[in-house]
């Protein structure tokens, strides 16, 4: 799905990432690396091969878009160091792109560990008229890209059937990215006046017609 924001071109990828064409930059939010290993450590039966899915998805994304820069919009790691850090360090060695982490509430690993991998950790990033943060933020004069919410939309059909799909959630001055990582969960958002919703369905990104406009909901999680 191609969209234009402030005269810049963006590709919404079915993985939940966004590719910013003009500056060859990938925006990725809420990977939550280490979460699967955290579950396994506490006796929750998650298949070991699930750990590799995040790294395979990241590798495929880089191979497809060949970015000059990768910006993670927070919650790259779920918690403290575990065995997935070594996998991440090995993955970084295969990447030629510059990597930046806009820190999120789950990013508690020391910035020194990231610096050792040549990854810059910052609280926010401004590029021209765009503000990149982890939590959704409204700031006059800027369009905000963020994550944190893990947005999803609930679609209802005939016979009381319904499905909840992760989505890109866009308002006039914000775009909230879906969570990229496996086993991250979602939070259903109500459509707001003037918003646009792009749902992830398999290998496609589909615009969702907003038939009923509901009162704008503040983002909380």
User: Domain segments of the chain: what residues?
Assistant: 2-208
pLDDT number for residue 221: 46
Q: Give 156-181 pLDDT, tens digit per residue.
A: 766 666 788 999 999 999 999 999 98
pLDDT number for residue 212: 42
State both tokens at 182. Answer: 């496996």
Residue 194 sits at the vertex; the CA angle it makes with 184 and 170, to the nearest 5 degrees, is 30
Q: Give 59-109 pLDDT, tens digit per residue.
A: 999 999 999 999 999 999 976 677 789 999 999 999 999 999 999 988 889
Mean pLDDT of all residues in the chain?
A: 87
| Mean local confidence (pLDDT), 115-130 | 96
Q: Is residue 121 predicted with pLDDT exceeding 50?
A: yes
| Mean local confidence (pLDDT), 110-116 | 93
Q: 123 versus 183: which is more confidently predicted?
A: 123
CATH architecture of 2-208: 4-Layer Sandwich (3.60)
Q: Please state, in angstroms and rounded to a whole number, the distance separating the CA atoms of residues 59 and 70.
A: 12
Q: Where are the alpha helices (DSSP H) in 43-189?
A: 50-65, 84-93, 111-115
User: Considering only CA atoms, which of 2, 75, 87 is closest in space to residue 37?
Assistant: 87
pLDDT number for residue 205: 96
Q: Give 27-66 pLDDT, tens digit per residue.
A: 999 998 976 655 555 455 555 666 788 899 999 999 999 9
Is the pTM value of this prediction over 0.85?
Answer: yes
Coil, strand or helix at 127: strand
Q: Is residue 148 predicted with pLDDT exceeding 50?
A: yes
pLDDT number for residue 39: 55
Q: What is the dihedral of CA 97, 177, 1, 61, to 10 degrees?
A: 30
């Amino acid at each position: 799905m191609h969209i234009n924001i402030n005269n810049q071109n963006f590709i919404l990828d079915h993985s939940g990432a966004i590719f910013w064409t003009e500056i060859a930059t990938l925006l990725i939010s809420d990977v939550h690396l280490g979460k699967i290993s955290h579950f396994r450590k506490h006796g929750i039966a998650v298949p070991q091969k699930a750990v590799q899915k995040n790294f395979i998805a990241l590798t495929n994304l880089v191979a497809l878009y060949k970015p000059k820069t990768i910006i993670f919009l927070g919650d790259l790691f779920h918690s403290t160091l575990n065995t997935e850090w070594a996998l991440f360090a090995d993955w970084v060695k295969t990447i030629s792109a510059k990597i930046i982490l806009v820190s999120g509430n789950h990013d508690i690993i020391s910035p020194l560990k990231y610096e050792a991998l040549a990854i810059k950790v910052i609280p926010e990033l401004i590029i021209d008229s765009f503000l990149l943060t982890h939590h959704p933020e409204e700031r006059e004069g800027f369009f905000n890209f963020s994550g944190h919410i893990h947005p999803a939309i609930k679609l209802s059909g005939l016979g009381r059937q319904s499905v909840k799909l992760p989505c890109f959630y866009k308002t006039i001055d914000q775009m909230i990215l879906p969570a990229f990582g496996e086993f991250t969960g979602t939070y259903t958002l109500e459509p707001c006046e003037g918003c646009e919703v792009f749902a992830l369905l398999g290998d496609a990104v589909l615009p969702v017609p907003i038939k009923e406009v509901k009162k704008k909901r503040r983002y909380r999680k």
